[in-house]
Amino acid sequence: MYLRMTLNREIVGFWDGGPREVFDFHIDGSPQQDARGRYIRVGCWAANHFFHVALGMTVKATLANARRRLAARAKHAGIDCEFTYVEDTPGYFERQAFGRTLCAA
């Protein structure tokens, strides 16, 4: 599963291919732990943006944490956006974080 962020307008950034308005954020790292709890890296290669979020009980809960963080940053920048969760075959880091019992329907 991944989180798709669709902006209301195209933006230009530090990536190849010109302006974009759709970005897909995936879980991209192994779970870690610090004094505040467990966290994991989420990011998008197309947007050249990676960050840490709290690890939820499921993939969707973890991506919901990422969605809230991305929505806050977009609102602060004055950009309207929509989010959708897209079902996909579980990747390596999803299986590592949430177990091998994940399966795509």
Q: What would the pLDDT profile of 72-90 be if each residue is shown by its tens digit?
A: 999 998 999 999 999 998 8
Q: In degrees rounded to 5, what are phi and psi of residue 99?
A: 95, 165
Specify the pLDDT at position 105.
42
pLDDT at position 101 over 70: no
Q: The pTM is what?
A: 0.88
CA distance 56 to 65: 8
Q: Do residues 44 and 26 make contact, with C-beta atoms less than 8 angstroms apart?
A: yes
Q: What would the pLDDT profile of 10-48 be if each residue is shown by its tens digit?
A: 988 887 778 999 999 999 999 999 999 999 999 999 888
Residue 51 burial by CB count (10 A; 0-12/13-18/19+): exposed, middle or buried? middle
Specify the pLDDT at position 100.
59
CA distance 81 to 57: 26
Q: In degrees rounded to 5, what are phi and psi of residue 90?
A: -60, 135
Place of tokens 């390596």: 92
